[in-house]
Structure 1
Amino acid sequence: MPANEPSLGLTDILVKLADEPDGDELSLVSVVETMQGRGFGPLLLAPTLMVLLPTGAIPGIPTLSALLIVLVAGQLVLGKRTPWVPGRLRQASFEREKFRAAVARVRPWTERIDRLLKPRLRALTVWPFNRIGAALCLLLAAAMVPLELVPFAAAVPALIIALYALALAAHDGVMALFSLAGMLAAGAAAVHLWL
């Protein structure tokens, strides 16, 4: 992540996604194009928001979002600077008006979250630490696919990934530590359930 990259708040990211791309449909490729150049934090956050907002109830959205998270986090782990999205995923979309309505409903809450975020302990949000977090995001994204079978269950790993993505977007190392602790706790809980 470049040192001169600006920090972004959750509300900024939501408004950009809701208003900037043209057309009646919000596609995953438009999400990538809107967030490109703004760092991996917003790119990682965008698909988690699709799961956490009411759009997450649309069948297939959690799985598509998980695939995009894997693509973005995987490329961050590999040290890529520019994200790449395959053709089939680029075509996935849903109604922009539904997304805009959801953004309007949650905006008072996102503005409160933004007040908690601030650039601090920035070193924890850049290489090599961001690769560790991205690797853990890969595991949580993989868990989202089977969890789609249980209504809104995919929102749990999506929320943890969203917190980490926010930390990257805002260069907030304290939030990064908090979200990494959440990832490790979720991983330990999953191992306990499987054993």
Structure 2
Amino acid sequence: MAMTEDEHSQVKFKTQTDAPLKGLLDRVEDISGGQTVDLKTVIEALGNRSFGPVLLLCGLFLLTPLGMLPGVPMALGVIIILFSAQLLFRKSHPWMPKFLRRVKVTAKSLEKARKFAGPWLDRIDNVVRPRLQWAARGPMLVVTALVAILLAVTMLPLGAVPFGVVVPGFIIGLMGLGITGRDGVFILLGLVLSFAVLVMIFQMVL
């Protein structure tokens, strides 16, 4: 028997909460409808759910060889600051600069992403779940956004140091994962680590 629209919505909501990362990929596929869409359309359709994935992706990029390329840490730092500032001011739909709006998301690239990342997303989704949700909403998101901006600022000079952006990138990825999965444990862990890193950098500067 076919599901009603309400039942279909409940199943989709359950997927996005019980498996936040794969649920997010499902949502992007729903938005694309098997067609090529621009990144602006995807981000706007995700609304306030897009802030976490953007921070998570930027953090992951900084952990790869891509993050070692000249200029990349600075570019990713600017993106992190841009999206974190909008999270700070509780924007419901992120604004993106023109060069990001031009990025195209094809059905083929989504299929490749699912095949490549699917098993990893399953593993992460088994760990991430809605916990300590007070840390994933309201004032705590403001604190998280401020910390992400501070970490991104430190990346500007650290980008000239080999592997200098790995630690802030890892922390930003942790917080992005926590926001995406509504998991306060990951957000609090990221905040604790960021405090230690910022104190260490401050002492080095002095």
Normalising by structure 1, report the TM-score.
0.75
Deviations 1:44-65 (A, max 9, x none): 2222222223332333222111
Kept after mapping to 1: 8 A contact 2:47/2:92: no
Displacement of 1:156 in angstroms is 1.3
Identity fraction in percent: 34
Q: List runs of 5+ in structure 2 lacking aligned partners.
A: 1-12
Displacement of 1:85 in angstroms is 1.4
Question: Which among 77, 93, 96 is matched to residue 85 of structure 1?
Answer: 96
How far, CA to CA, are the matches of 1:151 and 1:14 in structure 2?
33
Normalising by structure 2, report the TM-score.
0.71
How far, CA to CA, are the matches of 1:101 and 1:56 in structure 2?
22
The residue type paired with residue 177 of structure 1 is L
Relative to structure 1, is the Cα distance of residues 54 and 166 closer, same or farther in structure 2, using a 3 angstrom cutoff?
same
Q: Does 1:163 align with 2:174?
A: yes
The residue type paired with residue 75 of structure 1 is Q
How far, CA to CA, are the matches of 1:178 and 1:164 in structure 2?
8
Kept after mapping to 1: 8 A contact 2:59/2:171: no
Which structure would you say has the larger Rg?
2
Residues 7-18 of structure 1 mapped to structure 2, 5 A cutoff: 7=17, 9-10=20-21
Residues 30-179 of structure 1 mapped to structure 2, 5 A cutoff: 32=43, 35-36=46-47, 38-88=49-99, 90=101, 110-179=121-190
Query: Greater helix share, 1 or 2?
Result: 2
- Residue of structure 1 in register with 2:8 after alignment: none
Runs of 4+ in structure 1 off by over 6 angstroms are: 14-17, 20-23, 100-107
What is the Cα-based RMSD across aligned positions, in Å?
3.7
Relative to structure 1, is the Cα distance of residues 192 and 159 closer, same or farther in structure 2, using a 3 angstrom cutoff?
same
* Number of equivalent positions: 190
Deviations 1:28-58 (A, max 9, x none): 7577457545342112222222222333233
